């Protein structure tokens, strides 16, 4: 019992606690960056813009998040003022803050001016994400804390999501776009201050900046079979046809849920996922990673089956509570695997690459799920078969676990 309680507090050193606080603040800032989204959408609608114009706006603003491996390469290969992480964190935090403040204190701007400002804000935060993940992998692998650190990160971003849902709705109701941007801009500034006092990084010798070592690490990483096995593994797990837009159609057209209640269900799921993050932190220290992956797949299969009982407001609420917890545990297990698979000295590049593949799998699964739902005729019959297909596809991932050699990845991460 005593050992289990100790696992509940994995950050035993001052260094680990310092990093955990930094990661929490950075990820909370990322979550709060979504604060203007609802206000932007309703403001554009008020000005007569069509839905595709609004969709194009957010697609453009998402571009910085699609090219995250590029930031990793720049950070790994081109130290700024003798540092690979800290200097870039200061620069990109300042960029996100200034873009947000500019939008917050502007009374009038065109569609494209706002697109540029919001994209610049996203660029700063996406770059922050890559740099923070690099610090997480570099420090977490050697201490066996990648899972615990990611629990902190996802708890923070989820907590921010709950606030965004409530505060963003308030700003949207009163069409207060300036206030939404001004509040969102506060958090990159806090990240900047945290970077000044919490990030400690050795200066890189300009005459010996490790270029050859990093290039060798990149070549070794791209040639490492385990990296590509992990990439394929997490892509296929996320690619199992999921609900996505099809689920919204089912909730609205078949069950008759109001948009307000659907939003409440999302907030409930986000809130309970924090419990999942807290559960994963001690689990990541107590269980071998392969057992965690098998456990996570099993949780996903069981929880997906519960969606067959998703028939009304009460059952929906119960299932969202369960999925919030189990979904977070599953996500963190696969992110933990990705972090441990990253080669040393090229952590930023490879973790960003694996996260891009992770996100691509999720996006692809939602599109496939939507097409299946439509092809099956929509309605309860189509929904039931979509749940069954998704469950079977997820269960099939168990067959791939032995091919990934998770024990070797875990051992290599611990000793390097």
In angstroms, rounded to a whole number, what is the distance separating the alpha carbons of residues 169 and 180? Answer: 10
Give the pLDDT score at 208.
Answer: 59
Is-contact 76 84, C-beta < 8 A? yes
In angstroms, rounded to a whole number, what is the distance separating the alpha carbons of residues 63 and 408? Answer: 35
3-state secondary structure of 240: coil
**Best CA proximity match to 196, nearest among 85, 300, 275:** 85
Per-residue model confidence as pLDDT tens digits over 332-356:
888 888 878 777 766 667 777 787 7
The residue among 323 and 142 whose pLDDT is bigger is 323
Per-residue model confidence as pLDDT tens digits over 253-284:
788 877 667 767 877 888 888 888 888 878 87
User: Averaging pLDDT over each range in 235-249, 292-306, 346-360, 371-385, which range is the top one?
Assistant: 292-306
Q: Is the dihedral of CA 381, 387, 393, 396 positive or negative?
A: negative
C-alpha 123 chain-centroid distance? 15
Give the pLDDT score at 378.
Answer: 77
3-state secondary structure of 344: coil
The token duo for 300 is 């996903």
**Best CA proximity match to 191, nearest among 74, 65, 23, 14:** 23
Helix boundaries (H) for 307-378? 313-341, 347-375
In angstroms, rounded to a whole number, what is the distance separating the alpha carbons of residues 63 and 70? Answer: 12
3-state secondary structure of 415: helix
Per-residue model confidence as pLDDT tens digits over 296-318:
899 989 999 998 998 888 998 99
Q: Name which of 115-119, 125-129, 307-311, 407-411 the model is least confident about.
A: 407-411
Give the pLDDT score at 88.
Answer: 92
CA distances from 129 to 32, 167, 210, 276, 336 (A): 13, 23, 23, 21, 16
Is-contact 325 268, C-beta < 8 A? no
Those residues whose C-beta lies under 8 Å from the C-beta of residue 354, and which sit 6 or more positions away, are 227, 230, 231, 234, 338, 341, 342
Q: State the average pLDDT for the chain.
A: 80
Tell me how many degrees the CA angle 217-289-230 measures, rounded to the nearest 5. 45
Q: What is the CA radius of gyration of the chain?
A: 22
| Global confidence as pTM | 0.67
Per-residue model confidence as pLDDT tens digits over 85-116:
889 999 999 999 999 999 988 877 788 888 89
**Best CA proximity match to 280, nearest among 230, 326, 337:** 326
Mean pLDDT of 401-412: 79
Give the pLDDT score at 138.
Answer: 75
**Best CA proximity match to 351, nearest among 209, 139, 206:** 139
In angstroms, rounded to a whole number, what is the distance separating the alpha carbons of residues 6 and 50? Answer: 55
What one-character DSSP code corresponds to residue 252? Answer: I
Percent of the chain with pLDDT over 70: 86
Percent of the chain with pLDDT over 90: 12
Give the pLDDT score at 4.
Answer: 44
Is-contact 29 39, C-beta < 8 A? no
Q: Name which of 2-11, 90-99, 360-369 the model is least confident about.
A: 2-11
Name the CA dihedral angle for 73, 66, 399, 383, rounded to a multiple of 10 degrees. 170
In angstroms, rounded to a whole number, what is the distance separating the alpha carbons of residues 411 and 402? Answer: 15
**Best CA proximity match to 322, nearest among 264, 260, 388, 273:** 273
Per-residue model confidence as pLDDT tens digits over 41-62:
778 777 777 656 766 777 778 7
Per-residue model confidence as pLDDT tens digits over 142-200:
677 777 788 788 888 888 888 887 787 778 777 888 899 999 999 999 999 988 888 87
Give the pLDDT score at 118.
Answer: 92
């Amino acid at each position: 019992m005593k050992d289990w309680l100790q696992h509940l507090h994995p950050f035993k050193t001052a260094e680990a606690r310092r990093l955990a606080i930094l990661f929490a603040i950075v990820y909370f800032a990322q979550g709060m960056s979504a604060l203007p989204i609802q206000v932007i959408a309703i403001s554009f609608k008020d000005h007569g813009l069509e839905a595709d114009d609004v969709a194009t706006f957010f697609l453009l603003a998402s571009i910085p998040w699609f090219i995250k491996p590029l930031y990793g390469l720049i950070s790994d290969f081109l130290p700024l003022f003798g540092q690979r992480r800290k200097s870039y964190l200061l620069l990109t935090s300042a960029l996100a803050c200034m873009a947000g403040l500019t939008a917050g204190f502007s009374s009038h701007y065109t569609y494209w001016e706002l697109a540029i400002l919001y994209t610049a804000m996203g660029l700063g935060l996406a770059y922050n994400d890559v740099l923070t993940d690099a610090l997480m992998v570099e420090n977490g692998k050697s201490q066996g804390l990648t899972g615990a650190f990611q629990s902190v990160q996802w708890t923070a971003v989820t907590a921010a999501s709950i606030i965004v849902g409530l505060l963003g709705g308030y700003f949207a109701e009163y069409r207060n776009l300036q206030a939404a941007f001004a509040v969102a801009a506060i958090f990159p500034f806090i990240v900047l201050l945290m970077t000044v006092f919490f990030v400690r990084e050795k200066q890189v010798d300009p005459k010996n900046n490790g270029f050859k070592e990093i290039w060798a690490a990149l070549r070794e990483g791209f040639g490492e079979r385990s990296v590509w096995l992990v990439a394929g593994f997490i892509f296929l797990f996320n690619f199992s046809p999921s609900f996505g837009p099809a689920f919204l159609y089912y909730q609205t057209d078949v069950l008759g849920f109001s948009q307000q209640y659907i939003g409440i269900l999302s907030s409930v799921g986000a809130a309970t996922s924090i419990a999942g993050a807290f559960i994963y932190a001690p689990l990541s220290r107590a269980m071998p990673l392969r057992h965690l992956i098998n456990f996570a797949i099993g949780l996903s299969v069981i929880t997906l089956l519960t969606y067959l009982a998703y028939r009304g407001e009460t059952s929906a609420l119960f299932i969202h509570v369960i999925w919030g917890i189990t979904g977070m545990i599953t996500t963190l297990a696969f992110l933990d695997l990705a972090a441990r698979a990253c080669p040393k000295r090229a952590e930023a590049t490879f973790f960003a690459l694996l996260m891009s593949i992770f996100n691509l799998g999720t996006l692809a699964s939602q599109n496939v799920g939507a097409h299946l739902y439509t092809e099956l005729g929509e309605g309860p019959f189509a929904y039931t078969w979509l749940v069954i297909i998704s469950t079977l596809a997820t269960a099939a991932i168990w067959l791939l676990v032995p091919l990934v050699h998770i024990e070797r990845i875990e051992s290599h991460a611990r000793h390097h």
